[in-house]
């Protein structure tokens, strides 16, 4: 059960001249199987994350409600700046998308620059357990060099 719900795999794809990119079927099926909408998020420069919107929406609503309650209650204290920042990030960070025909994702304006790709460029599509990520190749390589040494300790840490 749970084993087949983990999104895994690394694939090389190229960005269309119209900023479209085909998601590998094994990942797309799993993301889309619930029939729900998808959410594209700016994870970090050079990396976009593609989530199933239902779990995502739940967490997000929770966070927003929590902040809204605080605002209503008037107990923001000195956290106004933080609130403003959070609002800005919430506004720009994600966007609802859907896979077009042939399992193709159109990368929206604003996300293109963040991903740092031009039409015709290659990217890596990577399964990240609960999401599918699109990586700019240099960012991916550099990330791996950085984090790969942690692998074994992470696995054992999360296993016990």
Partner DNA sequence: ACTGTTTTGGGTATGTTTCCCACAAAAGAG
Partner DNA sequence: CTCTTTTGTGGGAAACATACCCAAAACAGT
Could you list the residues that contact DNA (CB under 7 A)? 11-14, 16-19, 21-22, 24-25, 100-104, 106, 108-109, 120
Rank residues 101 and 159 by Cβ distance to a copy of itself and give the closer one: 159
Q: Collapse the DSSP code of 54 into the 3-class scheme (helix H, G, I; strand E, B; otherwise coil) and give the result.
A: helix
Contacts of 55 (CB under 8 A, 6+ apart): 130
CB of 130 to DNA, least distance (A): 21
Angle, alpha carbons 104-145-129 (nearest 5°): 45
Q: How many CB atoms lie within 10 A of CB 125?
A: 21
Q: Which does 18 bind (CB under 5 to 8 A by kind): a copy of itself, DNA, none?
A: DNA
Please tell me whether residue 143 binds a copy of itself under the rule CB under 8 A: yes
Question: Tokens for 114?
Answer: 């963040």
Distance CA 24, CA 14 (A): 12
Q: Which does 104 bind (CB under 5 to 8 A by kind): DNA, a copy of itself, none?
A: DNA
Q: Which does 116 bind (CB under 5 to 8 A by kind): DNA, a copy of itself, none?
A: none
Instruction: Tell me the C-alpha to C-alpha distance, in Å, between residue 3 and each of 6, 7, 129.
Output: 6, 9, 10
Q: Is residue 139 a contact partner of residue 45, using CB atoms and an 8 Å limit?
A: yes
CB of 121 to a copy of itself, least distance (A): 18
CB of 101 to DNA, least distance (A): 3
The footprint of a copy of itself on residues 57-116 (CB under 8 A) is 57, 59-68, 76, 80, 82-95, 109-110
Q: Collapse the DSSP code of 78 into the 3-class scheme (helix H, G, I; strand E, B; otherwise coil) and give the result.
A: coil
- The owner of tokens 């040494």 is 149
Query: Footprint of a copy of itself on this chain (CB under 8 A)?
Result: 2-3, 6-10, 12, 49, 57, 59-68, 76, 80, 82-95, 109-110, 126-131, 133, 143-144, 147-148, 150-151, 154-155, 157-160
């Amino acid at each position: 059960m749970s084993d087949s719900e983990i999104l895994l795999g690394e694939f090389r794809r190229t960005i269309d001249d119209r900023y479209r990119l085909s998601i590998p079927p094994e990942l797309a099926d799993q993301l889309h199987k619930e029939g729900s909408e998808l959410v594209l998020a700016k994870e970090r420069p050079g990396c976009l994350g593609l989530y199933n919107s239902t779990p995502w929406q739940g967490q997000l609503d929770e966070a927003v409600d929590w902040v809204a309650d605080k605002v209503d209650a008037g107990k923001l204290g000195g956290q106004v700046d933080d609130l403003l920042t959070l609002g800005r990030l919430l506004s720009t960070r994600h966007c609802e998308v859907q896979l077009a025909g042939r399992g193709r994702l159109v990368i929206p304006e604003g996300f293109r620059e963040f991903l740092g790709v031009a039409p015709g460029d290659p990217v890596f599509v990577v399964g990240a357990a609960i999401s599918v990520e699109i990586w700019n190749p240099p960012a991916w390589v550099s990330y791996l060099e950085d984090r790969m040494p942690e692998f074994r300790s992470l696995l054992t840490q999360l296993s016990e």
